[in-house]
Structure formats: structure tokens, C-alpha cells
Structure 1
Amino acid sequence: MNTRTGNTTCLWKKDFVLLILTGLVVMLIYSMTTERTTTVGSPVPKLQPKPVLCNAAISEESITPLKDTRHFLVSAFMDRRVKGFDIRIIGIFRRDSIQPLHCSFCCGSVFNQTTPATVLIHSDHFGFPYGATDVLCPLPKNCDASYITLLTKPSANASEHTFIPIRNKSEKLRFNFTVCISSLFGDYNNVLQFAQTLEMYKVVIYNTSCGPELNRLLESYSQEGFLEVVPWPIGKFLKPSTGWRFSEHGGDLHYFGQIVTLNECMYRSMERSRYVLLNDIDEIIMPYKHDNLVSLMNTLEPQHPNVGEFLIENHFFPKKHFEPSKRFHLPQWEKVPGVNILEHIYREDPDRSAYHPHKMILKPKLIEQTSVHEVLRKFGERYKVPLDVCRIIHVRVALRGYLKLEELNEDKRLWDFQEKLVPNVDKALKRAGLFPAEEQKKL
């Protein structure tokens, strides 16, 4: 999938930045269309020394407890799309403990100016005690704020609180696509499929835990120059659920904070990326009538200029069925943990009598809040992309396991990219030292 942004042409290998957060995983793919960017890799950051212009503690952690509440701040962004408001804070709030809050700013050398806060709990919380939350804040007059926090009383001593940076103040459009893929947890170690997905479109991840081999692969991608490491230690503060329904799975927060990280990813990308893709680690949004996503969106956007939410239907490729010729059953991949997506070419037709999930391509500036399979609040319209134009290739356990092989559809679309995909995956696995010694020498 070669793509183009402006005058720059790049292959998959040079197109993305991978953001790993040490918590839930959302893989954020920085475009199939951009130059490789500099790695920003670091351990979990600590509170920074007091800055010259703000006499308060500044947190650069990805989860910051909010003093005198049961809530947590994640990040803050400039966002003037809702009339009367300038700043949007993404947070995790205890839903039964919402109280009046006040936005407190560091405005250059002027400290502790406050305005009333408006709290918006996301409607998709699935019954969990904590939910993704937006807090909207108007800026005080003549305030060029760089940091913000929330107070329970406007008269509170803000110097005793921890502030977080306000992002998106000076971002410029640099990417065509950012891909947010959730989620990675439970010592996930599907190394081969991960590498193949990465080489199809390289990513930002919010990572709770992964297996040792996958960790080596991630470190390798980081060293190569497009991996930015940011922490997501959700288990340090809450008991995250491994499922999506509170009544079945318990815990404090839906799926390791999946909705929080998807929204954080979208806002983080809003000013620098034309589109944001929301899909999982084992899913690939695949154009069927275009060579790449750039060509696809160059066709769709003029036809649907007011659409901010493009729905892509998910199609399952059962991993129990293998392509019979074994053309891509490559010896160098046999001992690498994980699924080889090139070996699975049989596609289920969805059961149209039941709910069938979609994933999304979003224009982030037209989206206010998103969930996993649909947008919750938006400024634009919705469009369901036809199946013959684009669909998701999802290699996984069969959804309709009773279907016989002859009832499935042969689909070799992934093979159209094997010429570059196979050698790029080989190079990535070799670089990470994930091949047996004899294979390392051959490649």
C-alpha cells in the first residue's frame, strides 16, 4: 500500500509512529503517508520540577489523580468547537461522585485564575462505576494558559494541586492517517500478526502488558525511530475490567479504559492528522477498489464532504481454516508466536439477522466523543462505506463456527501486498532477534 502526502511518497515501513502506553493498548498509526518521525521513548515520567512561570507541580504522567475527588485527569487539549469553551480535559470520573468543579489555569506568570467547569460523562460506560469524561473549560480573559487543573472550590489553594499540560496549542497538520488500535493487555504475545499489522500500517499503542517476544519487537521498532513510549498504568489506580459489561466482568472501568484511550488518541491526533482510524490489533481496514487508504478517502470525501464518521464493516476470517497450498507457510515464521494472516483466506458472511460491529475512519475535527463501534457526539454526518469499496479483514476465532469451509468466501486481498509485506516482516523480526539462529544467518 504505497501512499502519498504532498510531495512525499513512502512505503508502509516509513509511514508511522507507534505510541506505546504502559496500560491498555491503543495503537495509533501515524499515517501510511508520512516520513518517519523521531522516537520519544522514556520510562514512566515523574512529576517535573516546578516551572518558572507556574508555581505548582506539573504532571506529565498519562493518569493524574485529582485532589479532593475520586477522579483522574488524563490530558487537556485546546478545543474551541463548542461555543463558550476553550479547553477540553479528558478524564476518568467516578460517576456517582460528580460535584461542581472549577477550572484553574496558569496564565503565564499569573497563577490560579478560575472559571466554572462543565462535566460531560460519556454515555457508553456499560454500567461501570468509572467512565470516560470530558470537562469543558472557558479561558479567563487575556489568559494564554499552558497548564490546567480542576478545583472543588474556586478559593482552594491551587499551588497544592497538580496541573497537566494543555496540548494542541501549536500542532500542525503532518499526517494523513493516525490509527488507534485497541487493545493490548493480559500478556498479549501474538507477535507474528502484530508485526504483519504493523508493516501494513504502523501504530500508537496504549499497552498494559505484553509477552516477552512482543516486548522485544516493540523495543526494536522504538529503536528504529517511530516508537513513542507513554505510560498507561491504569491498574495502579483502578481495577480495570477485562470485559465490556460490568454485570458480567466486574471491575471499576470498561476494558482497561478503552473508551478513554480512544478519545485521548483522537484528540491527541486532531490537529496533526487528517483522519483517525479506530480498529483493533488484529484488524486491518482494507480498501478493495483502491490501492491505499489515501486514494480511498480522496474518492469518498468529495462525495460526502459533511461526513465525519465513515463506518467500515468487520469481516471475520476464521483462523482454524488454512489456505491449502501453504504458499505462505514460511519456515522462518514457524517458531514465531502468533497468527500468520496470509494463511487465512476464507471469509465469513455476517449474520444479517444479528448486530454486526463496525469500526471507523474519523475526521477528528468533526467528532466530539467516540465509543468503540460508533461515534457518540459529532458535528458532522455518518456514512456506511459499501462492502465492495472497503471492509475490515479480521483474522480471529470464527464467529459462526458452525459454517463449513464451502460456505465461506475465498478472499486473497492481502496477497496483493505480499511482495513488500513478507520481506518487511522478515526484517522486523530479524532486527528484534525473534528468528532462530539458523534463520537469522539466512536473512
Structure 2
Amino acid sequence: MTKPSSEGPLVRVLVMVESPKPPTPTCHLWFEGDVAPTATRAIRVEYVHWQERFTGVWLPYIVTCRAGRGLRGVPQVASLVPHACASSTNALRVLQHDRSEPKRGLALCHKFIFNPVRDISQRLAEWIEAARAWGVDHITTYEASAHPNVAKILRHYEKEGFLSVIPWQNPGSQPNVPHLYRAFYDTQRYSLFTTENIPYTDCLLRHLASHRYVGVWDVDEFLVPAPPFVSIPDMIDGAKGTAHSIGVKPPTSYLARCSYFFDNLTEPATSDMPEYLHLLRHVTRTAKFSPPKVFTKAVHDTSYALGLHAHFALLNLEGEVDRERDLYHLYPASEGYLGHYRPACQGESQEECNASFRPFTTRDTAMWRYRDQIAGNTKRVLSSLGIVPP
């Protein structure tokens, strides 16, 4: 359920449809005490992806329906049907968050975890603690299938209240067998990139009322603020002020350019910085950053953003995002950058990587601002769960 606008209160439903041109559905809305639903035809069906649409694959859309301006309150349940008189065969609980509390700073969104044999528990715990230290106050991720140690980490932070884990299931005929997820997504990259926009956008919509910003990046990535910023929300507030001062329209997304922390450029393990601390033991990065529109990740303003993919918002309250007008590119030296922790540059060809990135490195200990907090909390969690020795 979305706050009232010039169109009145709105109900938005995320869907996957096996069609490049889906028909416009009708929403059946049940208010408290109803014995029959209120029917309202969708006013928009918006495509949530940047790539071309193809026939025969599942594609993501946002369906928007008016909820009416009456005094009946918030609908409890919504169904999508082909026309007003059709029988409902689905039912979705309508989420309406409390807007009486002030918005918090930053929520972090992660796509579905789907590899049951890959143990990223140590990296995941450190990443979560780094996010907490740098100003994230809630993380949402989606779980299709996870290694037992990864599941332990998820359950721990879920019980603590810092993390929300939402069950994930692929649409239609896509596989939903744990050991087939990886094979499917490793070979069907188009399906991966279209499907993951659903959890990104779902996470955004869940935090519209609770947070000012929503970030999207993976466990092998981290958005690192430049001094003197002490948190990621602090950095985005500064960038918003800069945009305002130069007369730029309030940005929908703030994009961070990429610098690589290659796996082999690591610090020696010590007693206070054990081998499993990957982020903290990698403080040598490439001096060169990726171009402003290549391999960026972003933080999104919940006052404007509506539909996301991995790199920037695709939709805002005005419709399709204008990439020149609605996106703000953070300046790495004075605002912040994306640290990408991986064995090689992103992309198939490593020719440019070997010529322009690998030979030129610089030492960057920005992550050490909260070194003791990140290291101590990570060790406490991993040892309490029996993943590392006490």
C-alpha cells in the first residue's frame, strides 16, 4: 500500500509474467468485513528491467491499482484477476507500514541466496557487521537454498532483529530444487537478471515508509564513504546537499563507481585480524575506478525510487528513470566508492583489467575506521555458532 498521491491511495503488486506484453489485470481488494471484493482495474503495468523483452521467459512488472479515496481504511487482501467478474485464485496480504515514526537512515537489500553447497558464512557475517558499523540499520535478503553454515548466520541475525529473511521461490516452470538453482542461474543469465529485480524492488517497497534510503549491493561488494563521512547515510546526505546546491533535481539513485580489491592483495593474518576477515584484510585496491556508468552500485532515495535493478532505479514516481537527470554519480575521492572484492575484474575480457587496473594500486584503510567493532562482532558471532574456534 502506497501513501496517497494525486491518484489517491495505491496498491502495488509485484508480478512475474511469461509475456512481453501482459494484459492489464483488475485488482480485487478486500477491506475489513467484506464478503465480496471491490474491483478496480489496474492503472499501470510497468516493466522492471532494462533489457529487451523476449517471448517465453518470465519477466518482472509492477501492477498499480487505485485503492479508492473512501473512508474504509486500508484493504487487507489484494488479488489479481483478468476482469472484474472473474473469480479470485490468488490472495496477497496488503502491507501498510506505520508512518507515525520518523524514517530511519539506511536499509540494505540483498537478492536471493540460492547455492546450498557454497559456504560464505564467514564472509557474510563480516559483511553484515561492516554494514552495521557503517550506518545500515536493517538488512533484507531472500532465501531459496543455503549452505547449513550460511543458514546459521541468517537465523542468528534474524533472531537478533537486524536481518529479515524472506523465503524465495522461482516463478512458473523455473527450477525450485536446491541443487538446480546454481546450474540454472549460471547458465541462464538473462533469467537471473530479470528475476532478481523482484527481490530488489520488493525490498525497496517494504522500506518506503521506514527508511530514507535503500542500498543494493552483494556480499563481495561494499560502498565505502570517503573522509570525513562517518556513515553511508551521512555520505548520501552530503551528496544530496551538493546536488541541491548546484541546482540538480533531487536524485533518485546515488551511484558509486567501482575499485577492485583483488583476492591476492591481502594483509597477513594476525591474532586480532584472523584469516577469515576478508574485508578487513584487503586494504590495497586499484587506483583506477570504473567509468561512471559501468559496474556501479547504488543507494536509492525512498521518496522517489519505485522499481530497482542491481545497479540503479529503473522507475520512480514520475515513471521511467531518466539516466541523465535522475542519477547522481558519487565522486570517489570526496564522497565514496564501491569496493569490489574479487579475484579479477568484472566482465569476460581481462585485457583492460591487466593493462589498466592490476598494475596500479593504492593502499586504502578506510574500512579500518571501525576495524575493532567489525572484527570483534564477527568473531563473537562465528565462534558462538561453531563456525570458527573460540
- Secondary structure class of the residue paired with 1:195: helix
Work out the CA distance in 2 between the residues paired with 1:350 and 1:86: 45
Alignment coverage as a number of residue pairs: 351
Contact (CA 8 Å) 1:242, 1:255: kept in 2 or not?
no
The residue aligned with 1:103 is: 27
- Give, in angstroms, the shift of residue 178 of structure 1: 0.3
The residue aligned with 2:336 is: 390
The residue aligned with 1:120 is: 46
The residue aligned with 1:149 is: 79
Change (3 A) 1:355 1:115: closer
Change (3 A) 1:221 1:256: farther
Contact (CA 8 Å) 2:261, 2:285: kept in 1 or not?
yes
Work out the CA distance in 2 between the residues paired with 1:268 and 1:280: 19
**Gaps in structure 2 of 5+ consecutive residues:** 133-138, 245-249, 319-324
- Give, in angstroms, the shift of residue 352 of structure 1: 5.8
The residue aligned with 1:319 is: 263
Q: Which amino acid aligns with 1:168?
A: Q
Residue 253 (str. 1) matches residue 191 (str. 2): yes
1:178 to 73, 90, 107: 107
The 5-angstrom pairing of residues 233-244 of structure 1 reads 233-234=169-170, 238-239=174-175
Change (3 A) 1:100 1:402: closer
- Secondary structure class of the residue paired with 2:337: strand
Contact (CA 8 Å) 2:252, 2:304: kept in 1 or not?
yes
The residue aligned with 2:254 is: 310
Contact (CA 8 Å) 1:192, 1:333: kept in 2 or not?
no
- Secondary structure class of the residue paired with 2:252: strand
Change (3 A) 1:284 1:294: same
Residue 90 (str. 1) matches residue 42 (str. 2): no
- Give, in angstroms, the shift of residue 360 of structure 1: 0.8
Q: Which amino acid aligns with 2:60?
A: A
Among all aligned residue pairs of Structure 1 and Structure 2, give the percentage whose two residues are the same amino acid: 16
The residue aligned with 1:361 is: 299
Deviations 1:194-239 (A, max 9, x none): 1111101142111222222222222222333434332112278624
The residue aligned with 1:222 is: 158
Work out the CA distance in 2 between the residues paired with 1:80 and 1:314: 38
**Gaps in structure 1 of 5+ consecutive residues:** 1-76
Work out the CA distance in 1 between the residues paired with 2:16 and 2:69: 28
Contact (CA 8 Å) 2:26, 2:84: kept in 1 or not?
yes
Change (3 A) 1:350 1:251: closer
Work out the CA distance in 1 between the residues paired with 2:107 and 2:131: 9
The residue aligned with 1:63 is: none
Deviations 1:307-337 (A, max 9, x none): 22111112111102223xx2x4448845x5x
Contact (CA 8 Å) 2:59, 2:194: kept in 1 or not?
no
Contact (CA 8 Å) 1:234, 1:256: kept in 2 or not?
no
Change (3 A) 1:258 1:81: farther
Work out the CA distance in 2 between the residues paired with 1:81 and 1:433: 50
Q: Which amino acid aligns with 2:28?
A: S
Work out the CA distance in 2 between the residues paired with 1:331 and 1:386: 33
The residue aligned with 2:209 is: 271
Contact (CA 8 Å) 2:143, 2:166: kept in 1 or not?
no
Contact (CA 8 Å) 1:220, 1:431: kept in 2 or not?
no
- Give, in angstroms, the shift of residue 260 of structure 1: 0.6
Deviations 1:272-330 (A, max 9, x none): 0011111112211111121212332332223334222111112111102223xx2x444
Change (3 A) 1:314 1:351: closer
Q: Which amino acid aligns with 1:407?
A: F
Change (3 A) 1:420 1:162: same
- Give, in angstroms, the shift of residue 106 of structure 1: 0.7
The residue aligned with 1:293 is: 232
- Secondary structure class of the residue paired with 2:37: strand
Work out the CA distance in 2 between the residues paired with 1:109 and 1:194: 45
The 5-angstrom pairing of residues 57-72 of structure 1 reads none
Contact (CA 8 Å) 1:131, 1:254: kept in 2 or not?
no
Work out the CA distance in 2 between the residues paired with 1:107 and 1:287: 45
- Give, in angstroms, the shift of residue 97 of structure 1: 6.5
Aligned Cα root-mean-square deviation (Å): 3.1
Task: Give the TM-score normalised by the residue count of structure 2.
Answer: 0.79
Deviations 1:353-411 (A, max 9, x none): 79621111111121122221122122483211101120112211221553586522222
- Secondary structure class of the residue paired with 1:429: helix
Q: Which amino acid aligns with 1:104?
A: H
Higher relative contact order (CA 8 A, sep 6+): 1
Work out the CA distance in 1 between the residues paired with 2:91 and 2:66: 16
Work out the CA distance in 2 between the residues paired with 1:176 and 1:416: 20
Change (3 A) 1:100 1:235: closer
Work out the CA distance in 1 between the residues paired with 2:190 and 2:236: 38
The residue aligned with 1:381 is: 326
Work out the CA distance in 2 between the residues paired with 1:237 and 1:281: 28
Task: Give the TM-score normalised by the residue count of structure 1.
Answer: 0.71
Q: Which amino acid aligns with 1:386?
A: Y
